[in-house]
Amino acid sequence: MAQGGNKNSGRRAIIDMRPDKNEIIKDIVLGRRSMAEIARRLGVDYSTVQRYRDEKITEEMRREIMAETRIQGIEADTEIINQDRMDIAMTYESLARRVEKLITKAEQNEDDGFALAAMEGLRKVLRDIATMQGKLAQNLTVNVSLAESKEWVTLRTILQEVCDEVPAAREPLLRRMRHHVLSVSQESGDAI
């Protein structure tokens, strides 16, 4: 036990050998399934899954999965909104064509009163189309927090390692980051 008590340091974890490893990790991080359910599914003890969570799933992996999940949700919602926009636009265009046909038919039948009423209806439809297209043309904005980005988590880890190697670098680094209003604190309250 000269290796610090880790007798399994040469063995790969059972989850690492699975083809669905990434989905299992997502299940653990996102809580989509309980660890007991995951253990049952894999045919291992609960403590094996718990140990894997505690020893193998890094903070960077957690943040990346959380950010990816949020972005996927936003993309799915955006797709739904865009499809709804297309449906609305197609409905208004169809309505405008129908009103135009009514106007043409009324003019051919020399029914000026009906043609005038249809034109008023068409004017309203066209105004609604213009309003709707103006609303549809607005850009959707997606905000992703820098603290959740994989790059920032990696950079923060590198900065922490450098500050551990060169303790004198900690104070000037923090001073400059505060000057530029960059947060270096972690969720646990630790700072670089």
Residue range 59-106, pLDDT digits in tens: 888 888 888 888 888 878 777 777 777 777 777 777 777 777 877 887
Q: Which residues contact 60 (CB under 8 A, 6 or more apart)?
A: 150, 153, 154, 157
Mean local confidence (pLDDT), 135-145? 62
pLDDT at 52 over 80: yes
CA distance 10 to 16: 13
What's this model's pTM, rounded to 2 decimal places? 0.43
> Which sequence spans correspond to the domains of the chain?
15-57, 62-136, 146-179
Share of the chain above pLDDT 90, in %: 11
